[in-house]
Structure formats: structure tokens, C-alpha cells
Amino acid sequence: MSLLFTQPISPVNLTQSDLRLWVKNEEEALAKFHEALDKLSKLSIMTTDSSGYIQINSSFRERFQDCLTGGGDHQSFGVSCERPAKDKPDIAFLDRHAMKQWEEILHFMVGTESTRQPSAAVLKVVTRAKLMKEGKDKQLMITNKGFQFLLQDVNTQVWAFLIQYLDIADELLHMNVVEVLNFFFMLGSLELGMDYSVEALTPTQKQLLDDLANFGLAYRRKKGSSRYYPTRLATTLTSGNSAVVSSAVSSSTSTTTGDDGATEQGFIIVETNYKLYAYTESKLQISVLRLFCELQTRFANMVYALITRDSVRKALKHGITANQIISYLTSHAHPQMKKQTPLLPPTVVDQIRLWEMERNRLVATECHLYKEFRNQGDYEMVLRHATNLGFVIWSNAKKRMFSVTEEGHEHVRNYIKKKIAQRKTNGGGEAGSGIGTPNNGSPSVR
């Protein structure tokens, strides 16, 4: 940073030895110094001339200075509106808007009743990212990856969503990917509560702005409005600050004051008899619980539910794993539960895992069954051939039966054809031609 502003002004040339004097004479500091020089050199940002003097790439220096000072015509920090808005929304309103729009997406993912259909861009993102998939009734339902998505903090969620949006921008939305990426980074550098001009945006960015407004990253009073406002979801994209809510499914949950006076998050109490009490009014939280619990009673600020075999199996059917359910219960446990060890009742944790093992012990695999071999020799010959090629799934020597994979069926059938033809050629006749029959009754092996 010192070189960025001093080198164009100062006539004094500097060498690496001069730069080393700016660094503390400590092993760790010197290691970082040499690592930084190495990276800058590899990127051709910093070079050394024939006299040994350090030179900063002039194009990089000018662009970086413009970014830091807001100069130039690149509009990296947006273009503020010249005239003040008549009814300018305050930051609290923008936070509510961001939370409402983002939670609508999460509500749709968990299947909350009466949730309105999201925009086409949202549908494309959740399906392309495999956060949701079509069920047998053609309705979208949450997947294993989608449930894991709910457990992440909001900033991680938003970035994951935007990265997937970037992936479909060119192919499905016919947008310029470079302009989309530039707009994402520009949003992260804007000031919360300020209004910016839509007129300065490119056609691609204007189209993008409509989708980002649906995601809760921007606010426009109406679609044709000439100004837009970035929300906290957008302005925290490139910072370490928390967004509107601290986690994907933690909004509207109750907070409890601990013994030390600190405010703690957590609202779920699980008992050894599989009863669950959730101290929350959030429809989103309740919808998440409904994914793996049977809701029994809903009070003003609490929900009573049961963790049952059927409810857990329903979650497993959607691809949600036992570990994800346990992780959710652990991360949202009530402060009172955090005082005990272990945090969750072992009987409940073990049973959830047992229900998963029970469901996973049988795996359905498409295959073809071969049977009715006329003698043990023929059976063993074909079985040995199929086994050597890795096609055999199951076999029963006593009944002279075995099954092969879908991929191996054609190969095994052709092998049997070949053996039948060889026997006929060698004078075996019809009496010795039958070797085995697959379950589809193919005439080629009888």
C-alpha cells in the first residue's frame, strides 16, 4: 500500500533491501514479507528492473488507486442518485425486506403451506444446485443437500446461491457472466441505506437487479423505479459481518439469557421419550421440524412434537441423513440442554441412527436373473465368466441361479449365444444347446 501511493510521487527508487526495512525483524513477519513478494512477482504486479529497483505495474497501480479513492469512470461503487428520494426507506425497512424475501425461498424449500411460488430464477437455482428435486407427483421437494444448506449461516447461503446463479447465468439466463460477477462485487461495496441509480447499469445488470430483488439483496419500490437500495444481505457479501439473521433457520427464534447474563440462541428441548418441545413462533422453524417430526400441538410460543420411526423414515426418504437431523437438534438445542452431558439423550440419538441403518440395510439394484441351467458344469462355466468380469450381483449354486447387472446382461447373453453356437458346430445338436435362461425369456439362450 505504501508503494501504491509513494512510488509515482517520490523520485527515490527502492530495492527489496529497502522494503525489508519496513518489516519487523521477526521470523514470522519476514516469512510473510517474502511470501507476499513472491506472489506479487508471479502475478507480474511487482517486477525488478536491471538496476535491482522495484517497479509496480502502472496499469494495476492506477486501477487500484481509482478503486480505493472512488476515482475513474469504472463505477465500481455504483452511481448515487443526485436527487433525494421522497419516501426513502430506512435501514430497518430494508432489513425486514431482505429477511422476508430470503425466508420465502427457505419456506419454499421446506414446503411451508401457503408459500407463494418463487421466481423462475429461484426455481432454476434450487434445481440446478440440487437443493430440491422433483418427486413422484412432479412437485419439488427438499434434498439432502438442501437440508444441509438450511444448516449454514446466511452469508454462506447467499454466496452459495449466487455462485449457482452465476453458473446458470450464461446457459439458462443468457447473461454476460463477467457483468454479473462485476455487479456482485459492486453490491458488496455499496453503502447500506443509500440509493443508487438504475440508469448507470447495463441491460444485463438491470435484468440481474430484478432477480436480486427477489432474493432480498436489493430493494426497488417498483419494477420500473429509477433507483435501488442494497440490503444488508448484499453489503455484507465481502465482509465478515453477520447478515440480517445469524443462521439460515434461526430467525424469529427465542433467545434466552444465560447465567452469565449473555444472550444465548437455542429453542429445542428433546426428552428421552422422543418428545420434542420447540420454543419458537417461526413458521420456518416449524416447517423444518415437520421434515423429521410429527407435530402434535402448537401453542402461542411453543410447538410439541414427536420423533417417530415414520417421521424419521420420511426424512430419510427425502435424502436427509441421521447425522444431519442430530446436527440440527444439537445446534438449536435450548440453553438448558447445553448444561447436561451429553447434550442430546443417547437413546434418541442411537435410535435415529438405527432407523437409518434399518432403511439402508436393503438396497434395490436393477438386474437380470439367469436360471434353469441344464447341468452344474454349464452353470459354473457361465457364472465364472460373469464373475471374472465383475457382473455378478447374487448367485445360488444349489438352485443354479445368478443375477447380473444391467450393464453385464448383454455381455453374458452374447457369451451364452456363442457357447450354444459352438456346440451346434461341434455336433452337439439341440439336446446340448440349452445353457441358461434370463428372467426376460430371451429366445437367444434357449
pTM of the model: 0.63
Question: Could you report the per-residue pLDDT of 295-353, keeping only the tens digit for each?
Answer: 999 998 999 999 999 999 999 988 899 999 999 999 999 999 999 999 999 999 999 99
Q: What is the pLDDT at residue 251?
A: 46
Q: Which of 360, 385, 419 is the last residue of a domain?
A: 360
Cis bond leading into 118, ω under 30°? no
Range of the domain at 153: 91-235
Q: What is the pLDDT at residue 7?
A: 57
Q: What is the CATH number of the domain that holds 400?
A: 3.30.70.2610
Q: What letter does residue 360 receive in the DSSP assignment?
A: H
Between CA 384 and CA 369 the distance in angstroms is: 15
Please give the C-alpha separations between residue 340 and each of 66, 230, 325, 344, in angstroms, as whole numbers: 56, 43, 19, 8
Between CA 394 and CA 40 the distance in angstroms is: 60
CB 435 within 8 A of CB 376: no
CB 41 within 8 A of CB 55: no
Angle at the Cα of 233 from the Cα atoms of 231 and 235, rounded to 5 degrees: 70
Cβ burial of 256 (10 Å; 0-12, 13-18, 19+) is middle
Cβ burial of 387 (10 Å; 0-12, 13-18, 19+) is middle
Judge whether 195 lies within some domain: yes
Helices 154-169, 203-215: crossing angle, 10 deg rounding: 140
Q: Do 220 and 105 sit in the same domain of this protein?
A: yes
**Nearest to 213, CA basis, from 226, 229, 202, 200:** 229
Q: Do 96 and 229 sit in the same domain of this protein?
A: yes
Q: Do 32 and 122 sit in the same domain of this protein?
A: no
Between CA 165 and CA 158 the distance in angstroms is: 10
Between CA 431 and CA 246 the distance in angstroms is: 77
Query: Helix H segments across 193-237?
Result: 203-215, 232-235
The single-letter code of the amino acid at 257 is T
CB 48 within 8 A of CB 190: no
Q: Do 407 and 296 sit in the same domain of this protein?
A: no
Q: What is the pLDDT at residue 243?
A: 53
CB 377 within 8 A of CB 432: no
Q: What letter does residue 180 receive in the DSSP assignment?
A: H
Judge whether 270 lies within some domain: yes
Cβ burial of 400 (10 Å; 0-12, 13-18, 19+) is buried
Q: Do 147 and 227 sit in the same domain of this protein?
A: yes
Q: Do 230 and 98 sit in the same domain of this protein?
A: yes
What's the gap between Cα 204 and its chain centre?
25
Q: Do 96 and 228 sit in the same domain of this protein?
A: yes
Q: What is the CATH number of the domain that holds 54?
A: 1.10.10
Q: What is the pLDDT at residue 439?
A: 57
Three-state secondary-structure class, residue 154: helix
Q: What letter does residue 48 receive in the DSSP assignment?
A: E
Judge whether 146 lies within some domain: yes
- What is the per-residue DSSP string for 188-199? HHSPTT--EEST
Between CA 297 and CA 174 the distance in angstroms is: 48
Q: Do 120 and 223 sit in the same domain of this protein?
A: yes
Cis bond leading into 11, ω under 30°? no
Q: Do 114 and 217 sit in the same domain of this protein?
A: yes
Question: What phi, psi does 343 have (nearest 5°)?
Answer: -65, -50
Q: Do 54 and 149 sit in the same domain of this protein?
A: no
The low-confidence residues of the chain, meaning pLDDT below 70, are 1-2, 4-12, 67-79, 82, 114, 239-264, 427-446
Cβ burial of 232 (10 Å; 0-12, 13-18, 19+) is buried
Between CA 407 and CA 266 the distance in angstroms is: 50
Q: Which of 309, 344, 360 is the last residue of a domain?
A: 360
Q: What is the pLDDT at residue 47?
A: 87
Three-state secondary-structure class, residue 124: helix
Beta bridge partners of 369: 403
Judge whether 185 lies within some domain: yes
Other CB atoms within 10 A of residue 324 CB: 19
Q: Do 338 and 380 sit in the same domain of this protein?
A: no
Q: What is the pLDDT at residue 65?
A: 74
